[in-house]
A and B are shown apart, each in its own frame.
Chain A
């Protein structure tokens, strides 16, 4: 990290020689604005986390008990020359293997045991359905959750607050896949006299061309239940955090000032309180992306949604070790990058955190 800083720091014109060099500690920030230092620090931390993920991903699977080759090739017909190649690879010194791995963690030579295809090919085609599902749910959940949080926090202790806090706490305590199964029974299969209204799984009906408008509508129709499930589970947390951060702002002096100058209650809320209370909520939405991944894995399983989540479930049932490794790496990279984006975005919105 210090290397990056030095390179970036030397980009500006060299100071005239004369004054003694600054102490080592402040070297990195010379010629850099606090914002740039902050960005570099955060990027360095994210790189550190990624390195840690790689270490875990590499060494954890070397700890597997039993015959690793049997583990990787379980239930497959592998040509003997490929087996020999694999054995030669696994017999090299561990450090050497690790360095090769670091050079390109995505170049796995081992095929998936279940699908008999290169793991990265399998994984990349599953990314888009997951992004579509989870992305839609996160957008909906943050809008609805923040709205509920504002309404509950502004009139703390009133009936809306009591009801919404009770409901959100209950949703927060719910296993998301269970909620999915319940919705599936009631609205998909049909129970208690209700007819089955929504498809019970998959991303589209068989034989429908997903590039046409009708195909898009079909996908949207299939999305209703899984997106509702994920939205309900995610919004609970967002609403709880938005509420408590708005409550934290309630006694601040600037709100008294705003009221004293005769501003309408609605405007005090919209222009003064909410923007400040939104900051922690935005951070949380990003910080908890790891938690949304859990939801994706189980809910995709329940609704047979052909994304990374369902793939994890299939890999786990094997267990298809090579595939599990790839998925773990991909999810971790996704979450680490999202966190980095959140940190940088946050510094743009709220300059105080840069110092």
Chain B
């Protein structure tokens, strides 16, 4: 640190230089991102929903979403007291939505983490190992890619035991990695052909070193953009699976609220306030992740910039 003070702006040492470069690259990326209107709008929506999710216990105490302690009238349309009306047990829709944001965002992000770890590892490994192992991984990717998502997810959830948030996270995670793996594999193949990897191999670096020190940093921007797009899909999947009744009944997400509404006849009762808002929240959050992802994609891959 002392050397930093002596020559400001010119850090000493390998790690310090790497860190400074990374910071600079991030700053550059952020400046580019700020000029992207769609991306900024998405970020705004996302920050709002994250705040709502974090503050849900403060704004709406847990008893407001408890079925037994509900105070409102059953299936009441929006009023001054309940801004978005009540559900069929008399709970405030607004409170349900705020608590639902916690589940939907948590599941979306956790499932994406699993999917990204599997997808990136499989992608890099299948691009790096040219022999039998790599070919097997590639086949596996192709297979998982073709099998229709929802039937597979339903089957997996049944086997793992439905009705828990963890099951949904695992199911989405292990069914949605194949697209990422294929993308990362293609990028790995292009990185593998570059001279610095040849140099690294000539100096005797092992497979692990090559993959983690050279390939991974180079595919990482792609992983990052793909992550935001995958979160969008994961949240949509969570909504669908919960709608089909696989969610945790004690922790209502937006999808399970829709399931409740549908199963208890909110459609024929014309209770639009019960059905409209949860779906609208899903659309907004998914759209925000998609727009952020598209903005990042343009920064990472300037060839797309003209679109």
Cβ B155 vs Cβ A60 within 8 A:
yes
| One of A45, A53, A63, A177 near B240 (C-beta < 8 A) | A177
How far apart are the CA atoms of A184 and B282 in the complex, in Å?
19
Q: How many residues of A contact B (CB 8 A)?
A: 58
Least CB distance from A96 to B in Å reads: 22
Q: Which residue of B lies closest to A294 (CB)?
A: B150
Docked CA distance A247–B298 (Å): 15
Q: Residues of B contacting A293 with CB < 8 Å?
A: 148-151
Neighbouring A residues of B258 by C-beta, 8 Å = 175, 177-178, 181
Residue tally, chain B, CB below 8 Å to A = 45
Instruction: Give CA–CA (A170, B151) in the complex, Å.
Output: 25
Interface of A is mostly: helix
- What is the CA–CA distance of A325 and B156 in the complex, to the nearest angstrom? 11
B226-243 residues at the A interface, CB under 8 angstroms? 232, 236, 239-240, 243
Confirm or deny: B262 has a beta carbon within 8 angstroms of a beta carbon on chain A.
yes
**A residues less than 8 Å from B276 (CB atoms):** 182
Whether B159 sits at the interface, judged by CB under 8 Å, is: yes
Q: Is the CB of A175 within 8 A of B154?
A: no
Task: Determine if A49 and B143 form an interchain contact, defined as CB atoms under 8 angstroms apart.
Answer: yes
The answer to the question of B105 belonging to the interface, with a C-beta cut-off of 8 Å to chain A, is: no
Report how far A65 CA is from B159 CA in the complex, Å: 7
CB pair B147 A290 closer than 8 Å:
yes
Count contacts between A and B, CB distance < 8 Å: 150
Q: Which residues of A contact B146 (CB under 8 A)?
A: 49, 290, 332, 335-336, 339
Contact among A170, A185, A301, A321 for B158, CB-based, below 8 A: A321
Most chain B beta-carbon neighbours within 10 Å: one of A179, A312, A328: A328
A189, B283: Cβ atoms closer than 8 Å: no
Contact, CB under 8 Å: A294 / B240: yes
Q: Once the chains bind, are B239 and A328 in contact (CB under 8 Å)?
A: no
Residues from chain B with a CB closer than 8 A to the CB of A319 are 158, 162
> Which residue in chain A gives the minimum CB-CB distance to B268?
A189
- Distance to closest chain A CB from B220 (angstroms): 24
Q: Point out the residues of chain B lying under 8 angstroms from A172, CB to CB.
A: 290
Choose one: B156, B159, B240, B290; the contact of A175 (CB below 8 Å). B240
Is A230's CB within 8 Å of the partner chain B? no
Q: For residue B303, which residue of chain A has the nearest CB?
A: A248
Contact A173 B245 (CB under 8 A): no
A133 to B248, CA, bound (A): 31
Contact status A181-B275, CB under 8 Å: yes
Which 5 residue pairs across A and B have the least CB separation, nearest first?
Answer: A178-B279, A290-B148, A173-B286, A294-B150, A293-B148
Give residues in A with beta carbon < 8 Å to B.
Answer: 45, 48-49, 52-53, 56-57, 60-61, 63-65, 156, 169-170, 172-175, 177-179, 181-182, 184-185, 188-192, 200, 244, 247, 289-291, 293-294, 297-298, 301-302, 312-313, 316-317, 319, 321, 324-325, 327-328, 331-332, 335-336, 339
